[in-house]
Amino acid sequence: MKKLKITALLAVLAFSPFYANVFPVESTSIVKTIADAIKWKSESIDVGTIPQGKPKLIRFEFTNTSSKPIVIENVAPSCGCTTADYTKTPILPGKKGFVEASYNAASKGAFMKTVSVTTSDSKAPKTLSFKGVVS
């Protein structure tokens, strides 16, 4: 009797995905959905050589390729030497928006900085980067 109960339990567990309609479905990657919602003109910019002590403005532009408005919720530079600005109004489908980073080139040498952007379309931040050399 005990073996029958165990066998019945195993059979129920083995076939439960069929009853629950849990089957593998076509893979719709979250990353692909995010990529489809915003098309960046460039995600990485090389600013070349810039003078020391003079802030450099870097502009990242994008197009809303989704079917709904997108709002930039947060822009976070990687360090205190960089400030950020961005499109504050909702970006309608097919329209363009921007994220700007102003880098204060205080020290000579090569640099690479990032800016993380969070939108209403995705809570996972998108990382934009820029690099160059301060002379």
In this structure, is residue 53 part of a structural domain? yes
Query: 54: domain range?
Result: 38-130
In this structure, is residue 28 part of a structural domain? no
Query: The whole model's pTM is what?
Result: 0.72
In this structure, is residue 18 part of a structural domain? no
CA–CA gap between residue 60 and residue 125 (Å, rounded):
15
Tally of domains in the chain: 1
In this structure, is residue 113 part of a structural domain? yes
In this structure, is residue 25 part of a structural domain? no
In this structure, is residue 16 part of a structural domain? no
In our burial notation (b when 16+ CB lie closer than 10 A, e otherwise), range 87-123 reads: beeebeeeeebebbbebebeeeeebebbbbbbbebbe
Sign of CA dihedral 23, 28, 29, 30: negative
Q: What is the CATH number of the domain that holds 105?
A: 2.60.40.10
In this structure, is residue 27 part of a structural domain? no
- pLDDT (tens, 9 = 90+) of the chain, 135 residues, equals 556 556 655 555 555 554 455 444 444 444 444 456 899 999 999 999 999 999 999 999 999 999 999 999 999 999 999 999 999 999 999 999 999 999 998 889 999 999 999 999 887 999 999 999 999
